[in-house]
Structure 1
């Protein structure tokens, strides 16, 4: 009997291990392993993440909640991987009957990013040549802004134009902002004191340390991760419901 009780006591902590919040280095290491050892393709990962972001947005802001207005969404894309995730997200939002518009001020020369851009153009998603002013944004030109600018790889202490100016605008607006993985302008390792304030955060793979005290709606898109990686990095991911590829934390 004592042995049984001892065994139960040992097993119990496994069920309450906290979800791990990743450092920048951990997140980069996991992505490297996915690409190198597990033979995921970069395009495959970006597609998985972009679709999951679009699904999270449909959960946070369903079309029925936007029924009195046009379901217009401004997707602001950066030059690196986060920007490509934003392009994929915009394409899926279009498929889900939202009306995305893309602002992509510094396009990458990488063929993969160019392919994602063409896919959006073929879906007749408009691209802006300028960022709408605060007045235009505040006057309900858009219901929602998707921040897919800087992401994990950015140096939050050295943000250059045009992104520093965009962040100034995003701090002024009242319409909801959804950030992909790491809100632009935030340090991935710690919460921002004076950055943008997104209503929704969509964490990819596992949440980053900057999200520890995030108080808005927080979605996790990490169900595709191989079990060996989950175990190696002690991610302690929560259970996803049914066949869902994301969950709200």
Structure 2
């Protein structure tokens, strides 16, 4: 990403915008405005914070679950922006789950590895078991970037309703069976050629494009 002279702020803003547009496609306002955004402590959580701000401006009613808040200046500014819009933060995920129409899983992204630590094991278990639609950001939380869903632990059996891959699909998409979106309308043709990426055709002003799971699998294998 540094080769394209993008800052982390820019990339997070573009990612969060893509996530918010995927929610708009999956959950039109007429089907329910309440969106629960579950954010982890890293960049994936930052994408969720940005998405929550955009969702508010679209007319949704986001609630943010962000139990491990970063002291980094960027994340502090993102949370300040949400609080200035009176977007609520909750510490009770189980109750919030009963009061929402759609969920954004922005807990762990493609860089996740190792053990899922508290309070996230129970959160991922609830995401797995809920009947409410879940959109995962870049990777379903607890999934391995290469091998996909874990064979044991809280993420075993977790298959979100939809996935938005940011910049390009990751190898784990081979194991995903829900609706699949791509987001990241900023890569140059030169960068795509360098990494062997087959960039999709985005329509109009859309920052996302939906692709069949089979197509995402082929693109993921190129990475």
The TM-score range, normalised by the shorter chain, is 0.7 to 0.9
> What's the counterpart of residue 102 of structure 1?
64
Q: Is it true that 1:177 corresponds to 2:138 in the alignment? A: no
Q: Which runs of 5+ in 1 are unaligned?
A: 1-33
User: Residue 94 of structure 2 aligns to a residue in which SS?
Assistant: coil
> What's the counterpart of residue 108 of structure 2?
150
The answer to whether the Cα contact below 8 Å between 1:190 and 1:211 also exists between their aligned partners in 2 is: no
CA offsets per residue over residues 122-163 of structure 1, 9 Å max, x none?
Answer: 111000123225xx63xx4111111000111211x4111111
> What's the counterpart of residue 83 of structure 2?
121
Q: Is it true that 1:44 corresponds to 2:7 in the alignment? A: no
CA–CA distance in structure 1, aligned partners of residues 13 and 121 of structure 2: 27
Counterpart pick for 2:29 among 53, 63, 71? 63
Deviates more, 1:207-216 or 1:94-103: 207-216
CA–CA distance in structure 1, aligned partners of residues 176 and 25 of structure 2: 18
Deviates more, 1:167-176 or 1:109-118: 167-176
The answer to whether the Cα contact below 8 Å between 1:189 and 1:209 also exists between their aligned partners in 2 is: yes
User: Residue 93 of structure 2 aligns to a residue in which SS?
Assistant: coil
Q: Which runs of 5+ in 2 are unaligned?
A: 212-223
CA–CA distance in structure 1, aligned partners of residues 143 and 175 of structure 2: 13
> What's the counterpart of residue 219 of structure 2?
none
The answer to whether the Cα contact below 8 Å between 2:14 and 2:184 also exists between their aligned partners in 1 is: no
User: Residue 132 of structure 1 aligns to a residue in which SS?
Assistant: helix
User: Whose Rg is larger?
Assistant: 1
Structure with higher RCO (Cα < 8 A, 6+ apart)? 1
Q: Give TM-score scaled by structure 1 length.
A: 0.79
Give RMSD over aligned pairs: 1.4
CA–CA distance in structure 1, aligned partners of residues 39 and 72 of structure 2: 14
Counterpart pick for 1:189 among 138, 142, 146? 146
The answer to whether the Cα contact below 8 Å between 1:52 and 1:221 also exists between their aligned partners in 2 is: yes
User: Residue 136 of structure 2 aligns to a residue in which SS?
Assistant: strand
Q: Is it true that 1:225 corresponds to 2:187 in the alignment? A: yes
Q: How far apart are residue 244 of structure 1 and its match?
A: 2.1
CA–CA distance in structure 1, aligned partners of residues 159 and 177 of structure 2: 10
CA–CA distance in structure 1, aligned partners of residues 209 and 173 of structure 2: 15
Counterpart pick for 1:168 among 120, 125, 128? 125
> What's the counterpart of residue 53 of structure 1?
19
Q: Give TM-score scaled by structure 2 length.
A: 0.88
Counterpart pick for 1:239 among 180, 201, 205? 201
Q: How far apart are residue 109 of structure 1 and its match?
A: 1.2
The answer to whether the Cα contact below 8 Å between 1:54 and 1:90 also exists between their aligned partners in 2 is: yes
